[in-house]
Amino acid sequence: MTMRSENVKVGLDRAANRALLKATGVTDNDMDKPFIGIANSWNNIVPGHLNLRELAEFVKAGIYSAGGVPFEFGTIGICDGIAMGHVGMRYSLPSREIITDSVEAMVQAHQFDGIVLLCGCDKIIPGMLMAAMRLDIPAIMVTGGPMLSESYKGERLTIGSAFEAAGKVKAGKMSMDEFRCVEDMAAPGCGSCQGLYTANTMSCLTEALGLSLPGCATAHAVSALKRRIARLSGERIMELVRKDIKPNGLITRESFMNAIKVDMMIGGSTNTALHLPAIAHDAGVDIKLDDFGGISDEVPHICSIAPSGPHTMKDLDEAGGMPGVIKQGLKLLSDEMTVSGLRLSEIAEGAGEVDECVIRSLDKPVHAGGGIAVLKGNLAPDGCVVKTAAVVESMQTHEGHARVYDSEDAAMKVILGGNIREGDVIIIRYEGLKGAPGMPEMLNPTASISGLGLGDSVALITDGRFSGATRGLCIGHVSPEAADGGMIALLQEGDIISISLPDRSINVKLSGEEIEKRRSKWKKPEKELKGYLARYSRMVSSADRGGVLE
Q: Would you name the residues annotated as active-site residues?
A: 467
Helical H segments across 407-473, by residue range: 408-416, 443-451
3-class secondary structure, 20: helix
What does 188-251 look like in DSSP terms, one character per residue?
-SSSB-SSS-HHHHHHHHHHHHTSS-TTTTTS-TT-HHHHHHHHHHHHHHHHHHHTT--HHHH-
3-class secondary structure, 426: strand
Q: Compute the distance between CA of residue 399 and CA of residue 508 in angstroms, rounded to an integer.
A: 10
Distant-in-sequence, close-in-space partners of 149: CB < 8 Å, separation ≥ 6: 156, 157, 158, 188, 194, 312, 314
Specify whether the CB–CB gap between 514 and 503 falls below 8 A.
no
Using alpha carbons, list the distances in angstroms from residue 395 to 384, 453, 454, 498.
17, 14, 11, 11
For residue 122, give the nearest of 222, 219, 193, 44 by alpha carbon.
Answer: 193
For residue 374, give the nearest of 241, 516, 276, 491 by alpha carbon.
Answer: 276
Q: Compute the distance between CA of residue 523 and CA of residue 513 in angstroms, rounded to an integer.
A: 18
Specify whether the CB–CB gap between 472 and 261 falls below 8 A.
no
- In this structure, the number of other CB atoms found within 10 A of the CB of residue 419 comes to 10
Distant-in-sequence, close-in-space partners of 374: CB < 8 Å, separation ≥ 6: 273, 289, 290, 292, 293, 296, 383, 384, 385, 504
Q: Compute the distance between CA of residue 48 and CA of residue 121 in angstroms, rounded to an integer.
A: 6
CA 286 to chain centre: 19
Q: Compute the distance between CA of residue 209 and CA of residue 344 in angstroms, rounded to an integer.
A: 10
Using alpha carbons, list the distances in angstroms from residue 305 to 234, 312, 469.
31, 6, 10
**37: β partners:** 71, 115
Specify whether the CB–CB gap between 142 and 116 falls below 8 A.
yes
Q: Compute the distance between CA of residue 314 and CA of residue 318 in angstroms, rounded to an integer.
A: 6
